[in-house]
Amino acid sequence: MDVFLPIAQVFVNPIEILLLSAIVGVLSGLFGVGGGFLMTPFLIFLGIPPAYAVANEANNILATSVSGSTTHYLKNTLDYKMGLMIVIGGAIGTSLGIFTFSYFKGIGKIDTVISLAYMYILAIIGTLMLVESLREIDQAKRNVLLKKKAHVHYWIHGLPLRMRFPKSKLYESIFTPIIIGLIVGFIAAIMGIGGAFILVPAMIYIIKMPTKLVPGTSLFVTIFVSVIVTFLHSFNYGSIDLLLVLMLVIGSIIGVQIGQKLGERIDSSGLRALLAILLLVVGIAIAYDTFFAEQVQVKIQSSVNTELNFFSSFIIDFSKEMPFFYGLFTIMFAIILGVCAALIRRFASNLKSKIFIKS
Amino acid sequence: MHPSEIKNFNKLPRLKTSYIKAGILVSLLAYWGVILVGTFVTFN
């Protein structure tokens, strides 16, 4: 049974979307990576136009990062000061990214740009991940322990305007987090991803934050970046489809829970090479679509002949007549879904521990 | 078994690993080749 997405103007199979987002969620939870760079290409493969896939995935990321960040807030593993500095850079980067997005949309090249950006990002991450995991396996076989340098100083550490970050116990230039946020925001706006794959290594190796504060702070930054991306996409292009977002959020939140539970039981370091291969395969599939397939067979159907139900008509009218409020509504929708997911998870965890204590 | 034969037998797994590594390296090079050539052809 296919469902018509009123904003993206395509028919999709909800079970396919739910399953795919759940699978990506499992990978996310298992490997601790954001699922955006896998889910957006999957949406494109399912026939959703790239510009819509990017915008809706950004809204999905908002919901999942709100859910994750709420959990870290409850555990007090967040550095707000550092997070806000990265958000300042993120806001500038996002605005630049949306400007670039508008430019390529204007000249009709946005779909090619998104596909190429994904292809290269997946190829780079996949290659680095594969090389790293093979090296790890090799070292584990030989029982070699690498001596890592305690402190490596890059040019970025010599920047002026230093500030204290008490929670992370750091004395760092404010430009370091701002520059990192700028890069993350720019990429997030064009590709509809959270940017955790840049943010997390940068926080650990460049900013040198304590590892326990990194996931929470990264999710905190992702909330703001994805709010800006969602709002700008929604306001400028009206490309957020609430029905698609709902399916994506439900699938990914369930998937992340399963992935995290799996991660506690199995050692995922050996599986990292498989994830790297998956990324490379997705990258080459995008390359095939972009370079070789004359016309990708998509299930795009015109809405002219489609009778819209009340919900679809309401979404279309709302997004066209009140784009500002529609943008705000999509953000609130994702935040409420995310907070609900976090509360349900906490409730389930408390219930489980009570049952465990009783038995 | 002659000592030299044992030595050769011990070398086998190492040789296999080298072949796998070389295979992965060649695949990655081919992969990047396709992407770069494809981009070049598309923009020309």
The pLDDT assigned to A109 comes to 79
For residues A121-144, average pLDDT:
77
The average confidence (pLDDT) of chain A is 79
Q: How confident is the model at residue A301 (pLDDT cuts 50, 70, 90)?
A: very low
Query: What pLDDT is stored for residue A293 in this prediction?
Result: 65
Q: What is the pLDDT of residue A107?
A: 83
Indicate the pairing of strand A10-12 with strand A170-173.
unpaired
Task: Identify whether the C-beta of residue A201 lies closer than 8 Å to the C-beta of residue A216.
Answer: no
A162: enclosing H helix or E strand: strand A162-165
Contacts of A284 in chain B (CB under 8 A): 31, 34-35
Is 50 exceeded by the pLDDT of residue A31? Answer: yes
Taking residues A184-210, what's their average pLDDT?
80
SS3 A12: strand
Kindly tell me the sign of the dihedral angle through the C-alpha atoms of A225, A231, A233, A234: positive
Angle at A270 between CA A266 and CA A273, to 5 degrees: 130
Q: Which one of A185-189, A298-302, A354-358 scores highest in mean pLDDT?
A: A185-189
- What confidence tens digit (pLDDT) does each residue in A261-273 have? 777 777 656 677 7
Angle subtended at Cα A55 by Cα A8 and Cα A4, rounded to the nearest 5 degrees: 20
Q: What does the pLDDT average to over A250-254?
A: 85
Which residues are bridge partners to A172 per DSSP?
A163
> Per-residue pLDDT averaged across A124-143, rounded?
77
Cα angle A153, A80, A255; round to 5: 95
Q: What is the pLDDT of residue B1?
A: 60
Quick one: average pLDDT of A292-312? 57
Cite the DSSP H helix spans in chain A: 14-31, 36-45, 50-75, 80-106, 110-142, 175-191, 196-201, 214-237, 242-265, 272-287, 310-321, 323-358
pLDDT value of position A328: 85
Strands A10-12, A3-5: pairing is antiparallel
Contact A248, A48 (CB under 8 A): no
CA distance A186 to chain B (A): 22
User: Region A149-164: what's the mean pLDDT?
Assistant: 70
Give residue A149's pLDDT band: very low, low, confident or very high (50, 70, 90): low
**Which residues are bridge partners to A266 per DSSP?**
none
Nearest-angstrom CA–CA distance, A74 and A65: 14
Per-residue pLDDT tens listing for chain B (44 residues): 666 666 666 666 666 777 877 888 888 888 888 888 888 887 77
What letter represents residue A316's amino acid? I
- Cβ contacts (< 8 Å) between B21 and chain A: which residues? 134
- Average pLDDT value for residue range A231-252: 84
- Of A8-17, A97-106, A138-147, B17-26, give the lowest mean pLDDT range: A138-147
Partners of A142 on chain B (C-beta within 8 Å) are: none
Per-residue pLDDT at A338 exceeds 60: yes
Which backbone phi and psi does A300 adopt, to 5 degrees? -70, 125
Task: Give the per-residue pLDDT at A9.
Answer: 79
Give the model's pLDDT for residue A156.
67
Q: Are A82 and A209 in contact (CB under 8 A)?
A: yes
pLDDT digits (tens, 9 = 90+) for A50-106: 888 888 888 888 888 787 777 777 777 788 888 888 889 888 998 898 888 888 888
Question: Is B34 touching A (CB cutoff 8 A)?
Answer: yes
Q: Between vectors from CA A234 to CA A232 and to CA A240, what angle results, nearest 5°? A: 135
* Contact present, A184 and A90 (Cβ < 8 Å): yes
Q: Among A343, A74, A332, A344, which residue's Cα sits nearest to residue A223?
A: A332
> With a threshold of 0.90, does the pTM exceed it?
no
Q: Provide the number of CB pairs (under 8 Å) joining chain A to chain B.
A: 31
Question: CB of A225 within 8 A of CB of A87?
Answer: yes
The phi-psi region of residue A208 (left if phi > 0; otherwise alpha if psi is between -120 and 50; otherwise beta) is left
**pLDDT reading at A299 higher than 50:** no
Interface probe with A: pick from B20, B32, B35, most Cβ of A within 10 Å: B35
ipTM, interface predicted TM-score of the complex: 0.72
Q: Indicate if the pLDDT at residue A176 is higher than 80.
A: yes
Average pLDDT value for residue range A211-221: 81
Q: Residue A276: which residues within 8 A CB-CB, separation 6 or more?
A: A125, A126, A127, A129, A130, A133
Please state the separation of Cα A299 from the chain's center in Å: 25
Can you give the pLDDT at residue A120? 87
Say which residue the tokens 């390359």 belong to: A287
What is the token pair recorded at A275? 């994830």
Using a CB-CB cut-off of 8 Å, the residues of chain B touching A112 are: 42
Angle at A49 between CA A188 and CA A2, to 5 degrees: 120
Position A269, amino acid: S
Distance CA A313, CA A324 (A): 18
A124: closest chain B residue by CA: B32
Residue A231 confidence (pLDDT) = 84
Evaluate if residue A146 carries a pLDDT over 60. Answer: no
Q: Do A291 and B38 touch (CB under 8 A)?
A: yes
Q: Which of A238, A180, A280 is nearest to A55 (CA)?
A: A238
pLDDT at A295 over 60: no
The alpha-carbon gap from B12 to the nearest alpha carbon of chain A, in Å, equals 16
Q: Cα-atom radius of gyration of chain B, to the nearest Å?
A: 19
Q: Which range has the worst mean pLDDT, A260-274, A301-315, A333-347?
A: A301-315
